[in-house]
Structure 1
Amino acid sequence: MPLKLYKRKTRDGFVWHYRGKVAEDYLRGTTGTANKADAARFIAALEREHFKRGLVGPQDLTFPDTSRRS
């Protein structure tokens, strides 16, 4: 299930929030904006970073480090 946007009411109007699954992790939170286009860019960047982190793994770990830790 990809991340989906929904509106939440505030005192001053509304703010876009997101919820859904990305790579077996359930995510939810606020985008911090009332502009739907900005909120869509926010969740696209969030998904991209989440996938990148899952595929690449920790940045400080190199191949020789993995063979020594085994």
Structure 2
Amino acid sequence: MSDNKSGYELRTDLLGMAIGILESRISRQFDNECLRPEGQRQAVSPYTTEDVLVEAEKLYTFVQH
């Protein structure tokens, strides 16, 4: 049974993985900020589309090797 994916399916999966990585990173940063004393906390910036594309490109480069 072959589980070959088209290029489109692979890129779609990689985008989903990239979003998951970024969401996890943002969640961790938010949790860390909540541990800081009141008055020292800073807002956590959301990820951008560019962040998703950069992370997906890293994953795609890994898959190519």
Which bracket does the TM-score occupy, shorter chain normalised?
0.3 to 0.5
Quick one: higher RCO (CA 8 Å, sep 6+), 1 or 2?
A: 2
Normalising by the residue count of structure 1, what TM-score does the alignment of the two structures yield?
0.36
Normalising by the residue count of structure 2, what TM-score does the alignment of the two structures yield?
0.38
More helix by percentage: 2
More strand by percentage: 1
